[in-house]
Chain A
Amino acid sequence: MKLQDKVALVTGGAKGIGRAICVALASEGASVAVNYRSSKAEALDLVHEIEAAGSKGIAIAGDVSNAAEAVSMVEQTVAELGGLHVLVNNAGIVKDTLIFNMQPDDWQSVMNVNFGGVFNGTKAALSQFMAQREGTIINISSVMGERGWIGQANYSASKGAINAFTRSAAVELARFGIRVNAVLPGFAPTDMVAELVDKGGRGIKKQIPLRDFARVEDVASLVVFLAGPDSTYMTGTCLPVDGGASAQLGLGRPE
């Protein structure tokens, strides 16, 4: 068990990739705080599942786009689970639409939750991490932060901001014993992107070198690696988990 006696907080942990991350961290012995905003029932179910498997878990309500709520999430985690060592900034939303039709709130809300959530979570955890000279932060970004997609300009920009922030934060926080890395999933069929993968599923799969979508577990296993002792010399990286999609030029073949 690589995360025995460690405490992790996963934002947006009740569903999708966040849920898989919570399960994977707990299976390595970590106590896990599952943050949720609206999915209370799913969060409580997950906590039961974590406890049934022999780890400690708690559900914490809170909106990561609100700095004060991010602070109280961290405080609650430390108070109830006895510390904090791993922060997974995972919470994210999409509001896909063409730029031509995009309203100010369509990009501002996506930016506030996706990038604002990473910023608020990171800042909230810092005094704990700096005082103990130990902490790993894993930001769940997206390959969309490095490449473009029609209808996802707002989402893509928010993820690009996360990648840039990850590098700067890693450089600034290294001397305090804190590592910061990002994971960039390709297409993982979760509720968040259901519309996209349902509509374009076959066509998208054909374009991925490994010919399949990411399983949420594929993302979670990299998060566990980055959270744990096997990656102690890694910081400031943005690692794709995308079946080779972003390595490829165009379709990687004539047609």
Chain B
Amino acid sequence: MPAFTCGIYTYKEHGMTNEEYLPQVRSAVAEALGIDEDEVTPTATLLDELGAESIDLLDMLFRLQRTTGVKIQASDLAHYVQGGIADDEFGDEEKDVITPVGMAQLKIVMPQIVAMNLDGKLSPEKVMSYFTVENLVDLVVSRATPVAS
């Protein structure tokens, strides 16, 4: 994942907004993937479980831009997950594993991995496979908040 500098996200403070955006995210994901909205549960992972490919992600983001007005670039997705941490601090290339610093960041944006006991085992390549519908909602909220406030 590329290095990225960004602001601190405060999505945690906007629980109500998550509720608002969930239906729009579910509908965008379902339409982009051509699947039933019932399959798009908050905990479903986009790539692994729902089978999204890069063109599907692009499609979702443009659909969300239309329905929510929140503009998210495809490259923002990786940037958001990495949280501005430099590549070499985020992952240990030699061992092909996410560093403790990287894991701490991932547990913020993908809280569901806390219980998965992935420390010292997660390959950088696999990170996005844990990204869920709910995580995407958080990303939308984090991008919507600065505009709203």
Contacts and interface: CB of A to CB of B under 8 A. Distances in A.
Interface in A124-150: 130-133
A131 B62 contact: yes
A175 interface: yes
Interface residues of A, number: 7
A91 B66 CA distance: 32
A175 B55 contact: yes
Nearest to B31: A175
B62 A133 contact: yes
A225 interface: no
Interface in B8-32: 32
Interface in A171-221: 172, 175-176
A175 B66 contact: no
Contacts of B62: 130-131, 133, 176
4 closest Cβ contacts across the A-B interface?
Answer: A130-B62, A131-B65, A175-B59, A131-B62
Contacts of A175: 32, 55, 59
From DSSP, what is the main secondary structure of chain B's interface residues? helix
A175 B31 CA distance: 10
Interface in B60-79: 62-63, 65-66
A130 B73 CA distance: 12
Interface of B: 32, 55, 58-59, 62-63, 65-66
Given A132-B66, A133-B63, 13 more contacts: A130-B58, A130-B62, A131-B62, A131-B65, A131-B66, A133-B62, A133-B66, A172-B55, A175-B32, A175-B55, A175-B59, A176-B59, A176-B62
Contacts of A132: 66
Contacts of B55: 172, 175
A172 B55 CA distance: 8
Contacts of B32: 175
Contacts of A131: 62, 65-66
Nearest to A130: B62
Nearest to B34: A175
B75 to A, nearest CB: 13
Nearest to A172: B55
Contacts of A176: 59, 62
A176 B57 CA distance: 12
Contacts of B65: 131
A131 B32 CA distance: 14
Contacts of A133: 62-63, 66
A86 B66 CA distance: 19
B55 to A, nearest CB: 7
A176 B59 CA distance: 7
A60 B59 CA distance: 31
Nearest to A127: B62
A175 B28 CA distance: 13
A97 B15 CA distance: 68
Contacts of B63: 133
Contacts of A172: 55
Nearest to A129: B62
Nearest to A133: B66
Nearest to B59: A175
Q: Among B58, B59, B62, which residue has the most Cβ atoms of chain A within 10 A?
A: B62
A133 B59 CA distance: 10
A130 B65 CA distance: 10
A71 B59 CA distance: 21
A175 B59 CA distance: 8
Interface in A95-133: 130-133
A116 to B, nearest CB: 23
B27 to A, nearest CB: 14
8 contacts: A130-B58, A130-B62, A131-B66, A132-B66, A133-B62, A133-B66, A172-B55, A176-B62
